[in-house]
Structure 1
Amino acid sequence: MISLIAADEVPQPAYSSGVMLLIAAVAVGALLFLIMKVKLHAFVALVLISLLTAIAAGIPLGDIPAAMAEGFNTTLGSVALLVGFGVMLGRLLEVSGGAQILADTLVTRFGEKRAPLALGVAALLFGIPIFFDAGLVVFLPIILTVARRFGGSVLLYALPAAGAFAAMHAMIPPHPGPVAAAEALKGNIGLTLVVGLPLAVITWYVGSYLVSQFLGKRFHVDVPDVLFGEVNDGNDEDEKAVLRQPSFAVVLMLLLLPFALIASNTVVATLGASGAIDAEAGWAEFLVLIGQTPVALLLTVLASVAVLVRPGRMAEAQSLMDGALGPICAIILITGAGGMFGGVLRASGIGAAMTESLGDLGLPLLLQAFVIATALRVAQGSATVALTTTAGLIAAAAAEANLSDLRLVLLVIAIAAGSTVLSHVNDSGFWLVSRFFQMDEKTTLKTWTVMETTIGLTAFALAAVLWPLG
């Protein structure tokens, strides 16, 4: 989810494949030990293990600071603005009672038993144009308010939505991973969307929704209040003096605004790449600009302030937003440090060592694509990097096999499946989910990691079933 690495830019390991794999295994084990047993703060533990891993993996000492900073800065640059603007928007919706109104409407329309399904379906629709982390941030106030309304484990409501964003991010154009994979394999991007979309929906329902309902009943996680404070229903007189209570239509408009802006960017970029429009035209560049995720969320926060804050109450509204920013500092730093750890593993060439050890196994092409993507995902954490790198590594074999357009699409799905499984401590998304829902690392491994794995396995099973039809 963090950065793109072309196949010809994969760093070569300093030691043999066996040694590099041992270093990776020891690094992950040591990190889990420090966090779960020693109870060392996750941010400190991630930075320490990143440093020690870089040294052990043979990265030149003078290059280690840059290797650590690259993963940290790349992740922080994408996450900090999204989380910051997202929680400010969430705070305004929470305190104004807007999130409660939206939750009440969902309850009325779908009923208590179908509320998790409704959240997941909405996330599937919104997840077509928007990245995983941005979608999750914008959906947070809805997830938490619905969970507070019904009680029980927050996972019953959080995992279906998070799983929907994760599935769409990995499998569906115009997200960068599947687009880059389809291009590397000389596949048809339009067919990838047409075939991939129903497969993604089935994958979500089986691998995320059904699994999340089982996990949510087995693992109780209290609804967190660190992000938005105590629940607000919009009836507090002091709050009414600062913020207007919005209607359902206004809340829906504020939530749809960032998705509409980001979708405009996606459409213009796609049409420009195909030559259907002039991508350098002023209007096209403007739509691309306002559709950049941080800009879209900034404009949405400004729109929320204009709609919800009463005249002359900006100082109090500023205090409300300040209160939302303080608690997320740890989330941002830990997520950035998770990106640092993944970046060090990428820079060390551990992913190349894993693919080298798997390249001569003589596996069928579809299974080989899944296994290599899984190895890269486990080794360095980023789903997008696993997607793009695996596609580059198997492109020659795919061309030699002279595959049909359908089989090329299924190959992209298999790669996406492998790049989704086994999200763990080197994945910044793991830390985002863990900290947003206030889960410890052990619980996150037993819930989020398990669900990501069932999503990937379901997608691969669907691709394998359809492969003979190609």
Structure 2
Amino acid sequence: MTTLPLAQLAADAPPALPHTGSQGQLLLAALLGIGVIVLLITRLKLHPFLALTLGSMVLAAVAGAPFDKLTSSFATGFGATVTSVGLLIGLGAMLGKLLADSGGANVIADTVLARSGGRKLPWAMALIAAVLGLPLFFEVGVVLLIPIVLLVARRGNIPVLRVGIPALAGLSVLHGLIPPHPGPLVAVDALHADLGVTLALGLLVAVPTLIVAGPLFARLAERWVGHLDIPERTLPVEAERPERAPSFGAVLGTILLPVVLMLLKALVDVVVDDPKDAVQRAFDFVGSPTVALLIAVLVAMVTLGRGAGFTKARISATVERSLAPIAGIVFIVGAGGGFKQTLVDAGVGNAVSSWADKLHLPVLLLGWLIAVLIRLATGSATVATITAAGIVAPLAAGMSSSHTALLVLAVGSGSLFFSHVNDAGFWLVKEYFGMSVGQTVKSWSVMETVISVTAILIILPLSLVL
């Protein structure tokens, strides 16, 4: 089973925190640690990085760790997570920035919409969002895609939620379930899942989930919310598009390249199943997440950058500008890894495992429920994924690669449950669509819940046949 090596070493290292406390004390430590994180994020509006750091210290202290060891596990987990996941987030940001600045996102949108109309439009918007959602972070996807959605709704005189909900669903499903988005990547790392298998099963779960939560739910949301007036301030500024744009084929091929490479690696691993075989070793190299994304970025510099008429200097500047906005994401993800490692080293995971055995809860359902509770409390899908994955990590030991991948997806789907007022995405969607809080709850919040519930209802039966 392929894993991210440094994170594996960190997880396999001897515990940095001596944990002699009872299971009750360890579970109390976990609850208090999570409670501190929730309080700091929701009430005191502290940055999640600081909240996760302080929550880790509280957890270690309550678990009985000596004061001189309070930060040792956190530092180990932080370093291992940033090393393994930070590279992927950075490369993904570069690819997304090249896609945005070159006009590639508009090329995809314009091409698909030109061939769709009437009843096909909601399905077209779901497809566009799913394709663009592969390399783009959720917030970037919203900023790029929603103005196009609003413009299409105005030009076609179509209720905005009929095309808006499928677009939001496409972005959200990819954000919660599919690497290389930060949450799924960290869950793959924490649970030692095979990235290729997770990606393949993630796509298998994502497609029907998107259909239910996108075009199908859009009709219901449209009736619940009623007519919306499209805010003028959110319509796109056409002048911002570059004079020249890359071709549709070049854009689509570049976006899908890393996904294809990782899926091919997983397929060759299954078919050949010989680590010494030259073909398998070659695909193991090019299909590893870091190399696959690196190849895609290098290709994008030509197909997207040069395809849009950018000079070498402008391509370099675009890549450079992509890194600054993700610094906060990298630190949050790293702190989540530190919190996860503190949970593991303190023995909380083993205590949860024992508790789950007594309740006879399926591991997949337990991971989903934990992620749901943390999502409701903190509003952050990434924090929910990271924390839940750390808690259930010991339960993944001995699981098959397919079941470990399904556990990653169960945690990811739980992290999307019912976005509300403590989630930045809630307010982003509210402002773009010009909705009231109540209208946003009826549309966006319920849509997120539909995604979460539909995904776990697909994942649980899959676990019985794989």
Distance 1:282 1:81 in 2: 26
8 Å contact from structure 2 (residues 141, 171) kept in 1 = no
Q: Give the count of matched residue pairs.
A: 405
8 Å contact from structure 1 (residues 103, 142) kept in 2 = no
Question: Which residue of structure 1 lines up, in the alignment, with residue 97 of structure 2?
Answer: 91
State yes or no: 1:296 paired with 2:295. no
Structure 1 residues 259 and 78: CA distance shift in structure 2, 3 A: same
Structure 1 residues 370 and 302: CA distance shift in structure 2, 3 A: closer
Match of 2:282 among 279, 286, 301: 286
Question: Which residue of structure 1 lines up, in the alignment, with residue 358 of structure 2?
Answer: 360
Distance 1:342 1:448 in 2: 29
Question: Which residue of structure 1 lines up, in the alignment, with residue 87 of structure 2?
Answer: 81
Tell me the TM-score normalised to structure 2 length.
0.66
- Secondary structure at the aligned position of 1:250 is classed as helix
8 Å contact from structure 1 (residues 71, 343) kept in 2 = yes
Question: Which residue of structure 2 lines up, in the alignment, with residue 66 of structure 1?
Answer: 72
Question: Which residue of structure 2 lines up, in the alignment, with residue 117 of structure 1?
Answer: 126
Deviation (angstroms), 1:417: 7.0
Structure 1 residues 371 and 315: CA distance shift in structure 2, 3 A: closer
Deviation (angstroms), 1:250: 1.3
Question: Which residue of structure 1 lines up, in the alignment, with residue 339 of structure 2?
Answer: 341
Question: Which residue of structure 2 lines up, in the alignment, with residue 19 of structure 1?
Answer: 25
Structure 1 residues 18 and 160: CA distance shift in structure 2, 3 A: farther
- Unpaired stretches in structure 1, ≥5 consecutive residues: 124-133, 170-174, 183-189, 224-229, 396-407, 426-432
* Alpha-carbon displacement from aligned partner over 1:177-236 (angstroms, at most 9, x marks no partner): 9x9899xxxxxxx9x999998676545544787679878998x9x99xxxxxx9676876
Structure 1 residues 212 and 394: CA distance shift in structure 2, 3 A: farther
Structure 1 residues 195 and 105: CA distance shift in structure 2, 3 A: closer
8 Å contact from structure 2 (residues 169, 448) kept in 1 = no
Distance 2:193 2:347 in 1: 21
Match of 1:321 among 319, 322, 327: 319
Distance 2:149 2:214 in 1: 20
Counterpart of 1:150, as a letter, is: V
Structure 1 residues 5 and 394: CA distance shift in structure 2, 3 A: farther
Deviation (angstroms), 1:246: 0.7
Distance 2:238 2:416 in 1: 36
Deviation (angstroms), 1:459: 3.2
Q: How do 1:81-230 residues align onto structure 2 when only pairs under 5 Å count? A: 81-111=87-117, 112-119=121-128, 122=131, 135=134, 137=136, 144-151=143-150, 157-164=167-174, 166-167=176-177, 201-202=207-208, 205-206=211-212
Identity of aligned residues (%): 25
Distance 1:436 1:61 in 2: 39
Counterpart of 1:78, as a letter, is: S
Deviation (angstroms), 1:249: 1.2
State yes or no: 1:38 paired with 2:44. yes
8 Å contact from structure 2 (residues 205, 459) kept in 1 = no
- Secondary structure at the aligned position of 1:360 is classed as helix
* Alpha-carbon displacement from aligned partner over 1:438-457 (angstroms, at most 9, x marks no partner): 699x9999679846642454
Structure 1 residues 384 and 63: CA distance shift in structure 2, 3 A: same
Deviation (angstroms), 1:102: 0.7
- Secondary structure at the aligned position of 2:415 is classed as coil
Distance 2:200 2:214 in 1: 21
Question: Which residue of structure 1 lines up, in the alignment, with residue 453 of structure 2?
Answer: 454
- Unpaired stretches in structure 2, ≥5 consecutive residues: 151-159, 180-186, 375-383, 418-422, 431-436
8 Å contact from structure 1 (residues 92, 304) kept in 2 = yes
Task: Report the RMSD for the aligned CA atoms in angstroms.
Answer: 5.2
Question: Which residue of structure 1 lines up, in the alignment, with residue 182 of structure 2?
Answer: none
Distance 1:108 1:27 in 2: 51
Tell me the TM-score normalised to structure 1 length.
0.66
Deviation (angstroms), 1:121: 6.1
Structure 1 residues 448 and 195: CA distance shift in structure 2, 3 A: closer
Bigger RCO (CA 8 Å, 6+ sep)? 1
Deviation (angstroms), 1:165: 6.4
State yes or no: 1:423 paired with 2:415. yes
